[in-house]
Amino acid sequence: MTVNRLYAGYQAELADFRLAFSRGGAYTAIVLVLLGMGLDYGQYPEWQGPFAVARIVVSMLIAGIVVVLYSQHGRRLAPWLTLSWLLLPQLMIAWMIWETDGVASPYYVGLNLAIFASGIALPFGLWQNVVFGGLSYLCYLVACLLHPDGLHPVGTFLVNSLFVLFAGAASAVYTYFNEKGRFQLFRLKEELANKNDELARINENLAQIKGQLLQQEKMAAVGTLAAGLLHEVNNPVNFCLMAIEIALEEPQAKESASLQECLIDARQGMQRIQHIVSDLKIFAYRQPGAEVEGRPFLFEKALDSASRLTAHELRGVRMTRELPPDTLVFGDEAAIIGVLINLFSNAALAMRKAGTPAPAIHTTVVWKDGRLHVNVRDNGPGIPSENLARVFEPFFTTREVGQGLGLGLSISYAVIERHGGVLFAESELGQWAAFSFDLPRAE
C-alpha cells in the first residue's frame, strides 16, 4: 500500500475521531466556563455580575458551534470549529484580564489550561496547536497592553508570558509525538488487516491444493484397483462372450426362441460389462506427468464438435463463448471432445432436472502462463459443497439408478491429468456450477 493511500485512510479515520472529541471537548468547555463563576466569586466579587453574563454568552456560543458540529458540515469543518470554540474562552479570559488587574491578574492560568487541554485531549494537528498557542498568547498580550498599567510590573508580565509560551511549546511537542504515535497505530492496524487478508488467501489456496492432492491420491488408488479388475474381469468376460456366441449357433438355440432371447440378453449384459471395463482402462494405465500422445489441434474446433454432438441434449440451452483468436493446443483431440461432451451434457441434464428458467452455458477460454484455460459454466442448480469434492470419484452419481454410471467426470479428470492439467469444479448452490481445466500450447 502506498504511503499516500495509507495517509488518506488515516485522515478519514482521524476525521471521525476529531469530530467525536470536538463535541466532547466543547461540552467540557461549557461546564468549565460556567463553573468559573466560583473563581469570579473568590477573586473578583465586584465583577461577578458582568463576568457571569460573559460566561453564559460564551457557553451559548460554544453550544451554537456544537450544533454545527452535529450538522452535515460538521465532519468537514471540525478542525476550524474546534479552533473557534477553543478561542472563545481565551477571548473571554483576555477581556477579564484587561477589565481587572492586567498583568497582575491570576487568570492567565486559564489560558494555559486551554492550551494544555487542546494538546492532550483533542486530536489537534501540530500546526493547529501552534496557531492556537500563538493566538492565546496574542490575546494575553493585547489584554495587558490595553490595561491602564500596560506591561507593568514587567517581571510578572515576562514570567506569565513565558508560562503561556511554555504551555504552547509543550503542548505542540506533545501533539507532534501524539500524532506520530496515532499514525503508527493506524499503520499497524492496516498492516494487520492486510496480513489477515493474505492469510485467508493462503488458507484458501492450501485448501484447494489439499483437495487436488487428495483427488490425485484417490485416482491413483482407483488406478491400482482398475488394473487388477481389468486383469481379473477381462478373461472371464471374453470367454463368456465366446461361449454365448457358440451357444447361439447351437441348433437348440436356433429352434427355441426363448432360449435365443435369453442368450442375446446374456450377450448384451456381457457387452455392457466389457464397455465399463474398457472405460476403466483409462484409470488403470494412467501415468501422471507422462507425455500425452496427441497432435496439435484447434481447441475451437473441438468445442464446435462437442457442441454439435450434444446439440440434441442442448436444445433450449443458450450457448455462449469467449475465445482468443488462436487456440492451437497439443493433445488428444478426441479425448478432449469427450471431456467437453461430458461437461455440456452434465450441465444440460442438471438444468433440465432443476427446471432452470433460462438455461445457459458459457465457455470462457483464455491463455495463461503458456496454457489454455477453459471454464465451462452453467446457471443451473449448482453442486452442494459436500458433493463438490466427490463429483470426480468414479461411480459417484446423483442420477437415478441405471441412468448414469458416474464415470463421466472421473474419466474426464484422468484425461485432463494426462495433458498435464487439472480439472476442478466450483459452484454456488442454487446459482451456478463451473468446471475448469487447462491444456498445453502446441509448440
- Residue 301 or 315 having the CB closest to ligand ADP: 315
Supply the minimum distance, in Å, between the C-beta of residue 387 and ligand ADP: 6
State yes or no: residue 399 binds ligand ADP (CB under 6 A): yes
Compute, in degrees rounded to 10, the torsion defined by CA atoms 286, 392, 394, 206. 70
State yes or no: residue 378 binds ligand ADP (CB under 6 A): yes
List residues bridging with 375 in a β-sheet. Answer: 364, 436
State yes or no: residue 319 binds ligand ADP (CB under 6 A): no
Supply the minimum distance, in Å, between the C-beta of residue 276 and ligand ADP: 12
- Residue 280 or 350 having the CB closest to ligand ADP: 350
Supply the minimum distance, in Å, between the C-beta of residue 436 and ligand ADP: 12
Among 408, 417, 419, 439, binds ligand ADP (CB under 6 A): 408
Which of 304, 424, 302, 443 has its CA nearest to residue 371? 443
- Residue 79 or 380 having the CB closest to ligand ADP: 380
State yes or no: residue 396 binds ligand ADP (CB under 6 A): yes
Phi, psi of 439 (to 5 degrees): -130, 150
Among 74, 89, 168, 380, binds ligand ADP (CB under 6 A): 380
- Residue 182 or 352 having the CB closest to ligand ADP: 352
State yes or no: residue 405 binds ligand ADP (CB under 6 A): yes
According to DSSP, the β-strands at 318-322 and 360-368 are: parallel
List residues bridging with 61 in a β-sheet. Answer: none
Which residue reads 479428470 in cell numbers? 413
State yes or no: residue 391 binds ligand ADP (CB under 6 A): yes
What is the 3-state secondary structure of 189-232?
HHHHHHHHHHHHHHHHHHHHHHHHHHHHHHHHHHHHHHHHHHHH
- Residue 99 or 313 having the CB closest to ligand ADP: 313
State yes or no: residue 375 binds ligand ADP (CB under 6 A): no
Supply the minimum distance, in Å, between the C-beta of residue 218 and ligand ADP: 13
Other CB atoms closer than 10 Å to residue 279's CB: what's the count?
16
Residues 206-265 that bind ligand ADP (CB under 6 A): none
User: Whole-angstrom Cα distance, residue 290 to residue 267?
Assistant: 37
Angle at 336 (CA atoms; ends 331, 342), nearest 5 degrees: 165
Residues 81-100 that bind ligand ADP (CB under 6 A): none
User: Whole-angstrom Cα distance, residue 280 to residue 263?
Assistant: 26
- Judged by CB under 6 A, the stretch of 88-96, 211-219, 236-244, 393-401 that binds ligand ADP is 393-401
Output the CA torsion sign for 48, 49, 53, 56: positive
Among 226, 317, 409, 415, binds ligand ADP (CB under 6 A): 409
According to DSSP, the β-strands at 295-298 and 318-322 are: unpaired
- Residue 332 or 393 having the CB closest to ligand ADP: 393
Supply the minimum distance, in Å, between the C-beta of residue 391 and ligand ADP: 4
Supply the minimum distance, in Å, between the C-beta of residue 349 and ligand ADP: 7
Helix (H, G, I), strand (E, B) or coil at 172: helix
In sequence order, what are the residues at sequence separation of 6 or more whose Cβ sits closer than 8 angstroms to the Cβ of residue 405? 276, 279, 395, 397
- Residue 24 or 430 having the CB closest to ligand ADP: 430
Residues 334-363 that bind ligand ADP (CB under 6 A): 342, 346-347, 350
User: Whole-angstrom Cα distance, residue 409 to residue 414?
Assistant: 9
Supply the minimum distance, in Å, between the C-beta of residue 204 and ligand ADP: 22
Binding positions for ligand ADP, rule: CB under 6 A: 342, 346-347, 350, 378, 380-381, 383, 391, 396-399, 404-406, 408-410, 433
